[in-house]
Amino acid sequence: MVMGDMVLFEDEVNPVMSVALDRGLEVTALHNHFFFDEPKVYFMHIGGEGAVDKLAQGVRAIFDQVKEIRTANAQPAKSFGLGQLPEKSSIDGEAISQVFAQKGDAKDGMYKVTIGRETKMACGCTVGNTMGVNTWAAFAGTSEDALVVGDFVMLENELQTVLKTLRGNGINIVAIHQHMTGENPRMIFLHYYGRGKALALAQGVKAALNTQPLAAND
């Protein structure tokens, strides 16, 4: 088995995550260890089981990806480089709701869909959607140039497939961690950010949601 931390600049995180996942490694956490560091440094925790040479090749591929990024641009990027969103949002909420097969909430041209789950705390209390145990996707911009941000809540055995699906749809992962302690089943949360056509972003998030019932039956 292999376990470790990858110390990454912001523009390295998602390309490196994709390489790790593609090479059969698991990504188990993504967060900061410091405040006020410049440039900002993130720690991506990885793990895996299998043949030693395959695991080593996967880790080497991570370092090769970092080297490729820094060779192309010595200084870490300060943004995704995608420019400003249109000043006024005009998201087609009806089209988004059809992707998710449920109605969302509209405000000032933006649109948000929330999907709740439930777990139990150690005290025996059931917590769910209204307590923040939910996946949500908020859309701003226009149909052709949109932003999606949100949280994803998962069981532990759902995390890797959700990561692969979001990254496969061009959606960036910005954090992976827990929001609670002592709950059963244990819930993992990730935060994500995507930019592109609104319908494609919605379909990417929905594709990740569609993997969860499959994992729950494992």
Is the domain spanning 93-216 CATH 3.40.50? The answer is: no
SS3 state at 144: coil
Question: Which pLDDT value is given to residue 218?
Answer: 44
Which of the two residues, 216 and 90, has the higher pLDDT score? 90
The DSSP annotation for 21-85 comes to HHTT-EEEEEEES-SS-SS-EEEEEEEE-S-HHHHHHHHHHHHHHHHHHHHH-SSPPSS-S--PP
Task: Give residues with Cβ within 8 angstroms of 51, minimum separation 6.
Answer: none
Average pLDDT value for residue range 101-107 = 96
Task: Give residues with Cβ within 8 angstroms of 144, minimum separation 6.
Answer: 197, 198
Question: Which pLDDT value is given to residue 217?
Answer: 47
Looking only at Cα atoms, what is the longest distance across the chain?
A: 53
Which of the two residues, 103 and 79, has the higher pLDDT score? 103
Q: What is the CATH number of domain 2-72?
A: 3.30.70
Rounded Cα distance, 91 and 74, in Å: 37
Confidence of residue 10 (pLDDT cuts 50, 70, 90): very high
In percent, how much of the chain has pLDDT > 70? 98
Question: Which pLDDT value is given to residue 215?
Answer: 55
Same fold, 2-72 and 93-216: yes
129, exposed or middle or buried, with CB in 10 Å at 0-12, 13-18, 19+?
middle
* Domain ranges, ordered by start, for the chain: 2-72, 93-216
- Shortest CA distance to 31 belongs to which of 6, 51, 52? 6
Lowest mean pLDDT among 23-27, 55-59, 91-95, 210-214: 210-214
Average pLDDT value for residue range 147-167 = 97
Mean pLDDT of the chain: 95
Confidence of residue 213 (pLDDT cuts 50, 70, 90): confident
- Shortest CA distance to 151 belongs to which of 164, 138, 140? 138
Q: What are the tens digits of pLDDT across the range 129-143? A: 999 999 999 999 999
Question: Which pLDDT value is given to residue 142?
Answer: 96
Average pLDDT value for residue range 66-88 = 91
101, exposed or middle or buried, with CB in 10 Å at 0-12, 13-18, 19+?
exposed
Q: What does the block give as tokens for 14?
A: 């998602």
Question: Which pLDDT value is given to residue 214?
Answer: 65
